[in-house]
Amino acid sequence: MITDFTTPPPLATEPPAHPEPHRDYRDFRGQVILHRVTKIFPGGTCVLDNVSLRINQGEFIFITGVSGAGKSTLLRLLYGAEQPTHGRVIVDNTELTRIRPRPLALLRRRLGVVFQDYRLLSNRTVNENVAFVLRAQGMSPAEIRRRLEPTLKMVGLAQKGHRFPHELSGGEQQRLSLARAIVNTPTILLADEPTGNLDQENSLLVLEILKRLNSFGVTILMTTHDPYLLSQAHHRLLRLHQGHLLEVSSPETG
Amino acid sequence: MASPRSFSSPSPLATFGYKVTYLLHETLLGLRRGGWLNWAAVSTLMVLLFLVGISLHLAWGLEASVGSLGNQLQISAYLRPSAQAETLVPTVKALDHVVDVQVITKEQAWKTLLIDMGMRDQASVEQQFGQNPLVDTLRVQVDALPHLDSVAATLKRLDPIEEVAYGSQVVKHLQSLQETLRLGCLTITSVLTLATVAVITTTIRLIVMARRREIEVMQLVGATAAWIYLPFVLQGFLFGVIGALAAWGLVLGSQGVLQDLFGTIVALPFLQFTGEATTNRNWQLPLILLGMGTFLGTMGSLIAVHRSSR
């Protein structure tokens, strides 16, 4: 079944017609909402055209589409690296329209973001790369130590805490990047082509970790164009095509 | 994954403690990564503050000299070589606004000069220089500063008096010197201040660029702008502290040399660099240098950080 999402889905509680920036929307906890979002870049390229989407807490969503379809832009809108040209973006109770730096920083502490190119700090060890996130948020050394071990264990890097990123394989580097994204117990995890540089085996390993996280209630939004991964996942799948977001399948429709 | 609910929050004091530790750690890391750029920033700041320090010292010395000279209500009247001062005393005493007249004979003056020059054997000196070359002098005390000029003019018109000298002439000379010095210092300080801020801004910006990846990750995981950029601002502040201390050391170290230099150039040996005239303000100098250094350092890094965070 293919559904065009240009018509906004009915929301349980409609956001106000004139959104108040930075206001908390308690009714949308753990949710991701795009409401008639259009993104046009300064050159005039329209990447997203009147897109509406609602992701509920604890959902696992795949977004697919050809390169340049706007998958990364969509995620960038969700962690506030981009602002929509029109429309509204609400993530975990926070309106991102014209959001100020401090509320944005506080929102990002509740998000985890993973990239295709890992974005690790090459001059810091595995432990330091993960601890860096917590230190950057002002956590105490005791709390950092407490969180470090279980997180590394979860991604299978507990024995490699003192290695540097260049001493790890691609799969391990991506798992380290995942560890960094989840060490802060995010409510929503945004993964931008996390398996883009990985072989099938490592891709499945990353997918398994994401599934486990999802089982703890973390909302997962992952972009990919890996058909094998999509066939293995059995999750809700959306496709970005010429600026429109189309629902390809849901777990029910398979 | 550790549960956030089981997180027991530490005491505010402990939180403050590790936040300060983190900031200091990041600041030192920045200094280490800055390499030679740090020294470029510190040395520019040091040169600027050194010049400011020297200018201030000189200005204070001049100011003190002007002040002390301005208070002197005494006129020295030098007679022709053959004239006797004693004969002139009643005439001078009779003048308006004259309070007291003191005679210094050329013999007394010669003796004093020899003692000042450290020569005890008068006979041998006279053998070298010939006869006493000095003249009789009258020290005329005037009742008030505004009358100095008129009394001096009257004295100059009296027959055996050849030359008069009094404080206000020196004061005028010193004031014009002070004015020139102030202008020169202001120009040099302004240019150097701009150069210093530019060097510090560039240094901090280069360090920020070198750590761009880390800053990106920090922004991504929700570090606030203050948390990210405060170490860079602290780094600029540290440049200021180090630059100011080094400049102060240089000022202290070069006082003797400068005293000699200015004594030769300006020929005003009574200008004080280390004497009483500036001693009571000496404690102000490190504070001024420190204040200026830290202000410029912090300003430079704030500009850099502001530009980088846009």
Looking at the domain assignment, is residue A149 inside a domain? yes
Determine what percent of chain A is predicted with pLDDT higher than 90. Answer: 46
A233 versus A24: which is more confidently predicted?
Answer: A233
Q: Using one digit for the tens of pLDDT, what is the confidence trace for B39-91?
A: 888 898 898 889 888 888 777 777 776 666 655 678 888 888 888 888 888 88
The average pLDDT across A41-53 equals 90
CB contact (8 A) between residue B1 and residue A216? yes
pLDDT of residue B153: 86
Position B295 scores a pLDDT of 94
Number of domains in chain A: 1
Q: Which run of H or E residues covers position B219?
A: helix B212-220
Tell me the nearest-neighbour CA distance from B27 into chain A, angstroms.
Answer: 14
| B195-223 per-position pLDDT tens digit | 888 888 888 888 888 888 888 888 888 88
Residue A101 lies in a domain: no
- What is the strand order of the sheet A46-55 is part of? A46-55, A32-40, A86-91, A94-95
Banded pLDDT at B304 (limits 50, 70, 90): confident
Q: Which pLDDT value is given to residue B192?
A: 82
Is residue B22 less than 8 Å (CB to CB) from chain A? yes
Does residue A6 have a pLDDT over 50?
no
A154 and B1 in contact (C-beta within 8 Å)?
Answer: yes
Domain of residue A151, residue span:
120-184
Q: What is the DSSP string of A232-246?
A: HH-SEEEEEETTEEE
d(CA B95, CA B101): 11
pLDDT at A142: 86
Q: Which of B1, B15, B223 sits opposite A151 (nearest CB)?
A: B1
For chain A, say whether B24 makes contact (Cβ under 8 Å): no
pLDDT of residue B265: 55
Q: Cα(B119)–Cα(B253) distance, rounded to whole angstroms?
A: 32
B3 closest CB neighbour out of A79, A140, A185: A185
Interhelix angle A101-108/B225-266, nearest 10 degrees = 130
Query: Which residue in the set B7, B213, B218 is minimally distant from A136, CB to CB?
Result: B218
Cβ neighbours of B30 in A, within 8 Å: none
Confidence grade of residue B168 (pLDDT, cut at 50, 70, 90): low
Asked if A181 and A147 count as a contact pair (C-beta separation under 8 A), the reply is no
Whether residue A142 is contained in a domain is answered as: yes
d(CA B267, CA B283): 27
β-bridge pairing A86-91 and A32-40: antiparallel
Q: Looking at chain A, list the stretches that DSSP marks H as alpha helix, in order from N- to C-terminal side.
A: 71-78, 101-108, 126-136, 141-154, 170-182, 200-215, 227-233
Does B170 score more than 70 pLDDT? no
Instruction: Please check whether residue A87 lies inside any domain of the structure.
Output: no
Q: What is the pLDDT of residue A1?
A: 43
Confidence of residue A77 (pLDDT cuts 50, 70, 90): very high
At B40, the amino acid letter reads: A
pLDDT tens per residue across span B242-301: 999 999 999 888 877 777 766 665 555 445 444 444 556 677 888 999 999 999 999 988
Block residue for tokens 């890992």: A118
ipTM of the complex: 0.80
Shortest CA gap A151–chain B (Å):
5
Q: Collapsing DSSP states into helix, strand and coil, what is residue A102?
A: helix
| Alpha carbon distance, N-terminus to C-terminus of chain A | 10
Which tokens hold the place of B10? 């530490």
